Chain A
Amino acid sequence: MQDVSVQAEFDATLAVLKATVNWRKTRAFGALKRAHVGLGEIRFKLEKPELRRFRPVGIWPPVTEGEFILLLGCEKERNGVLIPPNVFTLALDYKHRWEQGEGEIHDYI
């Protein structure tokens, strides 16, 4: 479970993303390319007490219009190292399994 400050920053990021029509034109979201096509990441950071950057990953483009399915949480360290390091491989695997009918949505905003 993440620190409450991270949760709050994430919830506020989602509140504004939810209100945004075109996610491609906001810095709070990025569609992944090349080997990671099919995924998108939400981008937010916390500056205090120390800089921490987060990149939760989900299915992009949406399966259903207007619906972004979040698969995994991810933190990006200053040197670019991702936690977990295999986040995109895992996310692609989850996406594939989701498309096969596995898994279920347990939070809906």
Chain B
Amino acid sequence: MITFEGIWRKLSNKKYREQYALSLLKRSVAFQIKTLRKKHCGSQAVLAERSNVTQGVVSRAEDQEYGNLTFNTVGRIASGLDIAFIGKFVPFSELIKFSEDLSEGEFEEIPTFDEEIAAAGGWGDLKLASFADISQAEAPRQLPKQNLEAGTAAGFATAPPRISPSSEFGSLCLAQAG
């Protein structure tokens, strides 16, 4: 049985984890673009027009074997979808979790900017929610004092809870065993 633990063991080989991470990156980005395009645009031509690229570019972006997408192209396609794309460095334990949780449904649920605003009940409610969060938030301890004000104003008043890779691995193993 190939499990989280099984993949984790394979990742102990540097060559394996290098290839796995690279392949999953190119495949999962192409997978996401195709899933989101089908949900929000229908055809590749529509997404191409909204992204100001050719249909060939969209077609290549959806090709899991291609792997030569530039940040610029991904950015344009994200703009065409009206959804943000963030590149993020993560520990390998998070990469495994990402691959295990990967599903079309996960990405189909991502709203466009307008859908997000509509779901929040419009701009007014979003502002109120943000101010309420900021006023109730505890000041972050790890930020230098001079950055506190800027951080609070930007809405980063509280730092997200950090889970160490080892404890996350432990809890995931328990979940597998249970």
Contacts and interface: CB of A to CB of B under 8 A. Distances in A.
Contact of A5 (B15, B28, B31, B64): B15
B99 A15 contact: yes
B103 A19 contact: yes
A12 B102 contact: no
A13 to B, nearest CB: 7
Interface in A1-57: 4-5, 7-9, 11-13, 15-16, 18-21, 26-28, 44-45
A28 B64 contact: yes
Contact of B7 (A5, A11, A13, A21): A11
A16 B24 contact: yes
A109 B19 CA distance: 19
Given A8-B17, A12-B23, A44-B65, A21 B99 contact: no
A102 interface: no
Nearest to A4: B16
Chain A interface, DSSP helix/strand/loop, else mixed: helix
Contact of B102 (A4, A19, A26): A19
Given A20-B31, A21-B104, A12 B2 contact: no
A104 interface: no
A107 interface: yes
Contacts of A107: 1-2
B63 A7 contact: no
Interface string B102-114: 1110000000000
Nearest to A22: B104
Given A8-B20, A9-B20, A16-B27, 11 more contacts: A7-B16, A8-B18, A8-B19, A9-B19, A12-B27, A13-B27, A15-B100, A15-B102, A16-B64, A19-B104, A27-B64
> 4 shortest A-B CB distances, which residue pairs?
A12-B23, A8-B19, A19-B102, A8-B20
21 contacts: A4-B10, A4-B19, A5-B15, A5-B16, A7-B10, A8-B10, A8-B15, A8-B17, A11-B2, A11-B7, A11-B10, A12-B24, A13-B64, A15-B102, A16-B102, A19-B31, A19-B104, A27-B64, A45-B65, A108-B1, A108-B2
